[in-house]
Amino acid sequence: MQAQIQTGYGTVIGEDCSVGDGTRIWHFCNLYGCRIGRNCKIGSFTEIGKGVSVGDNCKIEAGVFIPPGVTIGDNVFIGPHTCFTNDKFPRANQNDNWQIIKTFIQDGASIGANSTILSGVTVGEKAMVGAGSIVTKDVANGALVYGDGAKERGTIH
């Protein structure tokens, strides 16, 4: 952990985390075995799991859940209460063949509040996911998607 970060009351940062200079982490966050870049803002009540990588200059709003298997590029915005998944067929009792399915959020992408990003998806560079969307398939660079099944509705300039 770097000396130049600010953390809020009740925040837990595991010893196996790397947090870049200038990053601010608000109240009641849990970070385990992840890498957070420089100059990021992590909102209250956010959980970031083992092996997750967050680039530089990202803003992750309150109540976001990012499990193992997610990689987030630079300059990414993730709206409040966004939920990522890492398992296409979750069960309480996993068999020995279970594995994390990777998800990628490319540089400059924005994800609106209350969105769900299913495992195995790539959200392209500078793409925008509208609030409340359920993203079930890849999003092209610069695309605007929203809705249940997040259909492409245009491009971002």
Give mean pLDDT, residues 41-52: 96
Q: 18 has which bridge partners?
A: 35
Condensed to tens digits (0 to 9), the pLDDT of residues 57-100 reads 999 999 999 999 999 999 999 999 999 999 888 877 777 677 89
Structure tokens at 149: 């099944």
Question: What SS3 state is found at 129?
Answer: strand
Question: What's the whole-model pTM score?
Answer: 0.90
Dihedral angle over CA of 130, 132, 133, 139, nearest 10 = 40
Condensed to tens digits (0 to 9), the pLDDT of residues 96-108 reads 677 899 999 999 9
Q: What domains sit in the chain, N to C, each tagged with a CATH number?
A: 1-87+100-157 (2.160.10.10)
Give pLDDT, residue 24.
93
Res. 2: pLDDT tops 70: no
